Structure 1
Amino acid sequence: MNLDLDLQTDYFRASDETAVRTVMAEKTAKPAETFESVRAKRVDPTTVLRRLVAALETKEFEPGGAPDRSIWPTGPQPWVMEGEATEVDRENPWMTGPWVVELSDETRDALATVERKRLPELAARWARAEELRPLPNAELLQLIHRLGVLARRAKKADQHLYCVLSG
């Protein structure tokens, strides 16, 4: 994955990976247009979102942890590239995206605990992430709130949270 500053991330809720894969395979609509979603530019699920979850759980962020489960593209992941991408590499959906990952239900449940009274504290803690520094505090507050609402609705409907990443 090419995780650069132009990374677009949309978090959404869906019943299961089959529903997500169907939308991705049809290519007539994007998941963010099909499912209830929250746009969160540059908030990748592996690092930046996990920093928010750590803030929610009032613990320090630790890199690593269990990876999110890849839903799209399907098929085996390619080898690790050594050197410049070739023309064949640029045609591989694993190299070009979009990519969809399923977040753990633990992440969904942690996000579902977001309370309005904690928004300023959470925004202050989350703003420490280098990737979020250019965002104004008001945008972080709104984003945390919207992610919390999305997670609560997913949990209530017994759905999962997903993230589509595109360059």
Structure 2
Amino acid sequence: MGTPVRAAIVTEYFAAASDDVAVLALLEPDGPSALAQGSGEPLFDTVTLPSIEPFVMLGTLHHLLSGRPYRECAADLRHGQVVGGGEEGPWVVTVSEGLVQALAETTRGRLADVASRWARTPELRQLAHEHRPERLTPAVIALAALAHRAQDVRHTLYCWTRLPA
């Protein structure tokens, strides 16, 4: 008998000008990538990273990118802070400025190396079917590009997450 596969959480990372603006993503059932009425454009600049939760997994990514101890990365006041959402979700969660900066400043080659190392961490090995290094690398590069665009307009990153339906 095989090991049961856990239902993965739904996650989308997005850029917003402030916590107050970011929580507006909760007004749409489809979250921050919902299309705005009239323009057909997404409400927010988003990157989908299936099952990459903003707490332990992003703390590990921050640790791998920065070389800082995981405990220090996770202790950042803006790491994984819930800024809005109901008791059963969805929720909007902050991404630390340190991680945003590290993502924005890291070269593609280093991002690929970090993504490969990240894929081998215990948290991601559980989801190996979804996060093989060859699939994770483009996702990390896309997240870094989002971080760079966010910094260009003085926004920060957030995670919109909900439990699977």
TM-score, normalized by length of structure 1? 0.76
SS at match of 1:11: strand
2:19 alignment partner, one of 17, 32, 38: 17
| CA distance in 2: counterparts of 1:28 and 1:39, whole angstroms | 15
2:58 alignment partner, one of 31, 49, 60: 49
Is 2:160 the partner of 1:150?
Answer: no
CA shift in 2, pair 1:152/1:7, >3 Å = same
1:67-146 equivalence runs, <5 A: 67-73=79-85, 93-94=86-87, 96-133=88-125, 134=128, 135-146=131-142
Q: What are structure 1's unaligned runs of at least 5 residues?
A: 74-92
1:57-72 equivalence runs, <5 A: 57-62=66-71, 64-66=74-76, 67-72=79-84
Q: What are structure 2's unaligned runs of at least 5 residues?
A: 1-5, 35-42
Tell me the amino acid that sits aligned with residue 140 of structure 1.
L
CA contact (8 A) 2:25 2:31 kept: yes
CA shift in 2, pair 1:141/1:98, >3 Å = same
Q: CA RMSD in A?
A: 2.0
Q: Rg larger in 1 or in 2?
A: 1
Residue 144 of structure 1 deviates from its aligned partner by 1.0
Report percent identity of matched pairs: 28
| CA distance in 2: counterparts of 1:137 and 1:8, whole angstroms | 20
SS at match of 1:145: helix
